[in-house]
């Protein structure tokens, strides 16, 4: 009976002692109750086009993924020492008080440890009772986070692939035509010049590992295309 009481008390109590220890360490035992969040979008939304040259055993087909990257401010409100806290401290108080009573009533000279356990739980129960009346405390925080939202998965109009100085248009499905495929195949063998992608006046190199052979590698390049209004449609 005593063992069961001790296990139950240790599992459900020690509330005040734990609270005091965490407060001394700069932390709080109390949890946020009923959290609420509001988000406010920030300006300067940017669209990014990700171009991938996937491995293929047939025709060259680039894949394009356009996503919007933006920041938003997150306002979070909650409170501590609310109804959930009062229920938890009330349960802890009842458990500690019962354990203290049991140990103190059954302690004797042959089992003096009961006095120590009983005294500890009695004192902790008093502290827990005080915590029950802790005033409700509002919690407010403000933070920023980045949000990436997929927009489209086809290649935009005006996207060009330049292979060793020769430019090939990329259609919506990511194909560069037979002439482009031949040029890319030759480039993979000779590695003369660079493979570039361009859109709306912006150019970036599409880096392909030196060890790669034709249609056996994939590489992804994110090309910034400015704000939402600057995207070529």
Q: What does the alpha-carbon distance between residue 2 and residue 146 come to, in Å, rounded to a whole number?
A: 55
Structure confidence at residue 229 (pLDDT):
30
45 burial type by CB count under 10 A (0-12 exposed, 13-18 middle, 19+ buried): middle
CB-based contact 163:195 (threshold 8 Å)? yes
Q: What does the alpha-carbon distance between residue 54 and residue 214 come to, in Å, rounded to a whole number?
A: 10
Q: Which two tokens stand for residue 183?
A: 């040029």
Structure confidence at residue 144 (pLDDT):
93
CB-based contact 120:34 (threshold 8 Å)? no
Q: Is the pTM of this model over 0.75?
A: no
The distance between the two most distant Cα atoms of the chain, rounded to a whole number of Å, is 99
Q: What does the alpha-carbon distance between residue 99 and residue 96 come to, in Å, rounded to a whole number?
A: 5
In DSSP notation, 188-226 reads HHH--S-EEEEETTEEEE----TT--TTS---EEEEEEE
Please write the tens of the pLDDT for every residue from 114-153. 788 788 888 888 888 888 898 999 999 999 999 988 888 8
- The residue written with tokens 């356990």 in the block is 117
Q: What does the alpha-carbon distance between residue 182 and residue 174 come to, in Å, rounded to a whole number?
A: 15
C-alpha to C-alpha distances, 99 to 5, 15, 42, 43, 89, nearest whole angstrom: 6, 14, 55, 59, 15
232 burial type by CB count under 10 A (0-12 exposed, 13-18 middle, 19+ buried): middle
First to last CA, the chain: 77
Structure confidence at residue 55 (pLDDT):
65
Q: What does the alpha-carbon distance between residue 196 and residue 102 come to, in Å, rounded to a whole number?
A: 80
Please write the tens of the pLDDT for every residue from 196-215. 888 877 788 777 766 545 44
Please write the tens of the pLDDT for every residue from 40-81. 988 877 778 888 877 665 677 888 888 888 899 999 999 999
User: What average pLDDT is seen over the chain?
Assistant: 78
């Amino acid at each position: 009976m005593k063992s069961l009481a001790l296990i139950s008390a240790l599992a459900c109590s020690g509330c005040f002692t734990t609270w005091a220890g965490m407060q001394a360490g700069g932390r709080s035992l109390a949890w946020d109750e009923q959290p609420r969040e509001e988000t406010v979008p920030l300006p300067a939304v940017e669209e990014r086009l990700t171009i991938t040259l996937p491995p293929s055993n047939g025709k060259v087909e680039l894949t394009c993924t356009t996503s919007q990257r933006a920041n938003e401010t997150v306002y979070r409100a909650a409170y501590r020492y609310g109804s959930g806290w009062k229920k938890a401290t009330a349960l802890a108080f009842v458990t500690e008080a019962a354990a203290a009573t049991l140990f103190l009533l059954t302690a004797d000279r042959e089992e003096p440890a009961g006095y120590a356990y009983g005294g500890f739980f009695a004192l902790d129960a008093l502290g827990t009772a005080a915590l029950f009346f802790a005033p409700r405390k509002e919690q407010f925080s403000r933070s920023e986070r980045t949000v990436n939202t997929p927009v489209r998965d086809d290649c935009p109009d005006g996207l060009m692939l330049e292979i060793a100085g020769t430019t090939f248009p990329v259609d919506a499905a990511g194909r560069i035509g037979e002439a482009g495929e031949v040029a890319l195949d030759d480039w993979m063998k000779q590695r003369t010049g660079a493979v570039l992608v361009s859109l709306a006046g912006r150019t970036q190199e599409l880096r392909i590992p030196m060890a790669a052979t034709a249609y056996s590698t994939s590489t992804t390049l994110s090309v910034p295309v400015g704000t939402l209004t600057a995207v070529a449609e």
